[in-house]
Amino acid sequence: MTARETGEFSRFALRPPAADFSKETTLLSSWLVGEIFPPFEKLIGWHPAANPALPERVDRLYLAPSVEGPNHCPYKLLEPRAMLQVALPDGSVREYSSSVTPFDVASEIGPGLAKAAIAAEVDGHVVGLDVRLPREGEVRLRLLTKRDPEALAVMRHSCAHVMARAVMRLFDGVQLAFGPTIDNGFYYDFGLEHSLSEDDFEKIEAEMRKIIKAKEPFERLEHSRDEAVELCQGMHQTLKVEHIEDRGQDGLSDHDTLSFYQQGEFLDLCRGPHVPHAGMIGKAFKLLSVAGAYWKGDNSRPQLQRVYATAFFEKEELNAHLEQIAEAKKRDHRVLGKQLKLFTINPTVGQGLILWLPKGAVIRQELESFIREELQRRNYDAVHTPNVGRVELYEISGHFPYYSDSQFAPIEMEPGERYLLKPMNCPHHIMIYKSEPRSYRDLPVRLAEFGTVYRYEQSGELSGMTRVRGFTQDDAHIFCTEEQVADEFRACLEMTQGVLRALGMNDYRVRLGFRDPQSDKYVGSIESWQRAEEALQQVCEGMDLPDVSIEPGEAAFYGPKADFVVTDCIGREWQLGTVQLDYNLPSEERFALEYIGPDNRPHRPVMIHRAPLGSLERFVGVLIEHFAGAFPLWLAPEQVRVLTVSEKSEAYGRQIEQQLRQAGFRAEGDYRGEKLGAKVRDGQLELVPYMFVVGEKDMQAGTVTVRDRVESKDLGAMSLDEAIAKLRAEVEAKLVRQVAQSTTAGFNERGASNAY
């Protein structure tokens, strides 16, 4: 609305929603003479005499007393005031001219929502209900209740504070470290003299229940950095003081203002957000375990005690999760790996370094053979590269500065000659590409290798085969033209889908890891990143991929990627296969890769990194737990076991075993003098897919009696040729006839971190 549009009215304004309009309405109703009001009536379609109730449009105008208006108009329209527009998920927009919080908006919508709201999402960021929204502009607001997964993470972080408060009430001299939420729960790291154990959990939980019952609010306080240091010093929280003053990447020395959350006597340095009060946590929480953890993951710093816990909004969800934990313990690959003689870790060799035992090596070899067949079918060239390289190589690629905190220390052989255990295969493959001139006719160049790489993970982070210090990747790198990117990237995604399908891992989502605009960890120009992200998104949108999500901050430091996040049969998520697009390592600033185009001029290729299995160690660890050790026939270390009924059929049994081996099957024989029932039971415990029982009748008829692990019954007598044909068909089809299912299958949630 302009001054010209208002006719005689020279100024106008938006009216605050809370303003009382009754007096203005009365005065306007009495002022209807002359030619002063008609332009206003025509403009807004309203006349106070005809309808005293103000229409919605008029409710947004503000009339102020005036003696300056033409013909002594008693009111005038004022200038526009700054307004905040709050866009809600249903498409509606609410306007405010004064400062409001998400809770104010919820209260205005209705008392039910105000009571149910736990937190809010403002422009994609989860915040507390007490956070002040901007005074003007536009924000997207989503009010979070128990039905939203983001609310669960907020509640869990509040539960972590309640747990820390309970520990401080029960024990003296407690030093607080960090208490973030994680997948499936949360933890808090404590420094205290008392050695915490599961025996302490009951009294800690009892104290937590008292705190929750009191329903005290979580109050956010903000202080300058100096005030924060003084506050933490006054509480004798030396770890918090060190964290605030730490000038490293994980310190807070560059923060001018820091937030704390207070609940009763408990005060903690915390980014938040939190639930409005402790009563919203409820009763469905459980302390799970205690472990050692170094302060900030640095083994040169103090060792702390980490208490793991979880919480849910409903008791039924907690019970389901506890069942999942119990099921996971049964499937623990570290336990099954030892029982089934698949792998071992020896401290004399080194923590995090896997020793593949013969049966485990069979599984690895079968997976490698499967991938090699795919590589040959898709026209890849196999290469081999050394396990070490000069530091300068990784400095060019950016791996050395980026991964330096998690790498083995450089090896200095002589002055100026430093080597590094290979952290990634791609720099080596790049140098193979550069070893000869390339033409556009040569592209795409596809180089593949089962290459072993090394990362020095902290000892507290090591976990069996799933978190190790040395691992082998089914790695490949494709060098192609920009026009070939879509087809090559699509082929990589399809290959990964095929690998997962062959292993019965059909429940997965695809996570597109994009650059975080707020982070400086990435290399390359913004333009290159935008081009790469657009190309990746377009390819994925054109495929039948399940549950595709874009997650900023999940990209590799050199380019965006598509990760296959697999949900196993008990509902846990594992990030396995990955495909990554890279415009940066080929760039002039890095390796300056080139090919000669049809115009006889040099051009820059695009690089694709892909690994359908990811780490073989991690993948096999996940497979052990997914199958609970009961591998499909084509992967099973022992595919068939020959069982003799008595000594009389031993010679025939050994003959059957030999024929099975000659037919290409991994067969063993049990010729002990035990009863047949005991032999069958041992075969079942050792998860052998098929058992061929041979007795005197079988020997005379030239048959075997086939027992099937999946169906847990005898399939009857068959000729050996018939039995071999049945097994061969199953192997060639890479059939996954059964995954050991759990009653907790499909249960899953994602976590988030709230701590500084």
Which are the catalytic amino acids?
A: 426, 455, 473, 475, 477, 561, 609
Q: What are phi and psi of 129, to 5 degrees?
A: -70, -15
Please give the torsion angle defined by the CA atoms of residues 288, 294, 295 and 299, in that order, rounded to the nearest 10 degrees.
Answer: -170
CB atoms within 10 A of CB 109: 15
Residues in contact with 246: Cβ distance below 8 Å, sequence separation at least 6, in sequence order: 252, 253
- Bridging pattern class, strands 84-87 and 137-144: parallel
Angle between the N-to-C axes of helices 485-502 and 526-541, in degrees from 0 to 180, rounded to the nearest 10: 50
Angle between the N-to-C axes of helices 358-377 and 485-502, in degrees from 0 to 180, rounded to the nearest 10: 140
Query: Where is 121: in which H helix or E strand?
Result: strand 119-122
Token pair 């710093």 in the structure block, residue: 301
Please give the torsion angle defined by the CA atoms of residues 75, 80, 84 and 89, in that order, rounded to the nearest 10 degrees.
Answer: 80
In whole angstroms, give the CA distance from residue 300 to residue 170. 29
The amino acid sitting at 120 is A
Reading the block at residue 484, the tokens are 């070939």
Q: What is the DSSP string of 76-107?
A: EEPPPPP-EEEE-TTS-EEEESS---HHHHHH
Token pair 């099957």 in the structure block, residue: 665
In whole angstroms, give the CA distance from residue 129 to residue 123. 14
Query: Do 161 and 274 contact (CB within 8 A), yes or no?
Result: yes
337 closest CA partner among 620, 613, 575: 620
What is the strand order of the sheet 417-421 is part of?
A: 388-390, 417-421, 411-414
Token pair 């022992």 in the structure block, residue: 638
CB crowding 428-445: b at 16 or more within 10 Å, else e: bbbebbeeeebebeebbb
- Bridging pattern class, strands 445-454 and 63-65: unpaired
Angle between the N-to-C axes of helices 616-626 and 358-377, in degrees from 0 to 180, rounded to the nearest 10: 110
In whole angstroms, give the CA distance from residue 743 to residue 748. 13
